[in-house]
Amino acid sequence: MQGVVRVPPRRKPVLAFVFFLMILLSGCLGNGQQSVEESSTNDDVVLDVWHTFAAESKEEEVFMNSVAEFESAHPNVTVEVTMVPFENADQLFMIAAQGGQAPDLMRLSSDQLGAIGEVRVDGYPLLEDLRPHLTPQDRQQFEERALQAMRYGDALYGVPASQDCLSLIFNKALFDAQGLDYPDSSWTEQDLLQAAQTLTAQDVQGLAIPIKTA
């Protein structure tokens, strides 16, 4: 699952970030137009944002449209967008953050939060805890389990922007050969692991999870 995380501000008003975050997710999630309140400051603000969408992809197009919509609604805010490679985005972020050059907002995979969440600089985490900045109404926009995936410890370091849909595909012939029942909705994680162990043989891999960077 992909999420949007925030870095503790250097001199950036919190409201500007929160407004950008909500309108950005409105665009990414396909919710259409969303009213945005006026910021409490007219000071010029620059928000540095990193994303990992492929160049010239539909995802990048939707993202950039959301940025343009936000800037149009908030003329005093400029959003500077940088694309970084997905496969090493977390490492680039940690290097930048520890050098005081981190972006204000970044798209990360939820499974990258742990490594980043453990790091402290002068006793402070690299990411901002979003709990004080999100109202109960804001939280209702997200599926609860997806929101929980953006937590590390007690802190909420991001909000979900997209979720992956995974399917379990199985070989009936292998199950039949071992006399195993086919997987169904009653299966637990333990059922899956037990079946995988039973199916594993010298030339048979009981469970395969293909992983690629994208």
**pLDDT per residue as tens digits for the range 166-202:** 788 999 999 999 999 999 999 999 999 999 999 998 8
Residue 155 has pLDDT above 60, yes or no: yes
Higher pLDDT, 102 or 41: 102
Same domain, 139 and 182: no
Same domain, 190 and 120: no
CA angle 102, 149, 130 (to 5 degrees): 50
Same domain, 142 and 185: no
Quote the pLDDT of residue 92: 92
Same domain, 101 and 41: yes
Same domain, 134 and 30: yes
Quote the pLDDT of residue 98: 84
Strand pairing partners for 151? 156
Same domain, 141 and 38: yes
- Name the band, by pLDDT with cuts 50, 70 and 90, for residue 3: low
Averaged pLDDT, 97-120:
85
Quote the pLDDT of residue 145: 85
- Name the band, by pLDDT with cuts 50, 70 and 90, for residue 7: low
The reported pTM is: 0.65
The CATH number of residue 53's host domain is: 3.40.190.10
Same domain, 111 and 171: no
Counted domains in the chain:
2
Give the contacts of 209 (CB within 8 A, at least 6 positions apart). Answer: none
C-alpha separations of 6 from 23, 27, 128, 154, 174 in Å: 15, 18, 5, 16, 47
Residue 162 has pLDDT above 90, yes or no: no
Quote the pLDDT of residue 109: 82
Same domain, 141 and 54: yes
C-alpha separations of 187 from 24, 168, 178, 181, 196 in Å: 37, 11, 17, 10, 13
Contact of 189 with 43, CB cutoff 8 Å? no
Cα separation of 192 and 144, whole Å?
A: 25
Averaged pLDDT, 160-165:
76
Residue 32 has pLDDT above 60, yes or no: no
For residue 98, the one-letter residue type is Q
Residue 16 has pLDDT above 80, yes or no: no
Cα separation of 51 and 162, whole Å?
A: 13
Same domain, 43 and 128: yes
Higher pLDDT, 172 or 150: 172
Higher pLDDT, 99 or 24: 99
Q: Which domain holds residue 88?
A: 2-162
Same domain, 156 and 209: no
Same domain, 137 and 197: no
Choosing from 122, 143, 162, the residue where a domain stops is 162
Averaged pLDDT, 109-136:
85
Of 46, 14, 23, 29, which Cα lies nearest the Cα of 160? Answer: 29
Choosing from 144, 162, 180, the residue where a domain stops is 162
Same domain, 83 and 179: no
